Amino acid sequence: MINFDFEIETMVSVEAAKGTNPDTLMRQATQLFVERLQQGEIEPVFTQTFDSSTGAYTVKGMVRFEMVDPEHLDVKESE
């Protein structure tokens, strides 16, 4: 099994009084995202796969990153 990663490339706007802490608007913003997803106004976009058994990230068939066994790294101590 591998993981398929998706992103949502959009934003929503929450109207609030000037000086409002944005952290207090997270619930409203989340609800707007959910509503827009349910209404088909925004779509998730496939970005990459991740294979946890190898550590490889793959985009359109190209390996972007693969975990390396630390024992095989040539690391020199800094002086």
Tens of pLDDT along the chain (79 residues) come to: 999 999 888 999 999 999 999 999 999 999 999 999 999 999 888 888 998 888 888 887 565 555 555 554 444 444 4
Task: Please answer whether residues 72 and 51 qualify as being in contact, where contact means their C-beta atoms are separated by less than 8 angstroms.
Answer: no
Task: Please answer whether residues 53 and 3 qualify as being in contact, where contact means their C-beta atoms are separated by less than 8 angstroms.
Answer: no
Order of strands, sheet of 44-51, starting from the edge strand that comes earlier in the sequence = 3-8, 44-51, 56-59, 62-65
Task: Please answer whether residues 31 and 38 qualify as being in contact, where contact means their C-beta atoms are separated by less than 8 angstroms.
Answer: no
> According to the model, what pLDDT value does residue 63 have?
58
**Rounded Cα distance, 45 and 38, in Å:** 15
pTM above 0.75, yes or no: no
**Rounded Cα distance, 33 and 50, in Å:** 25
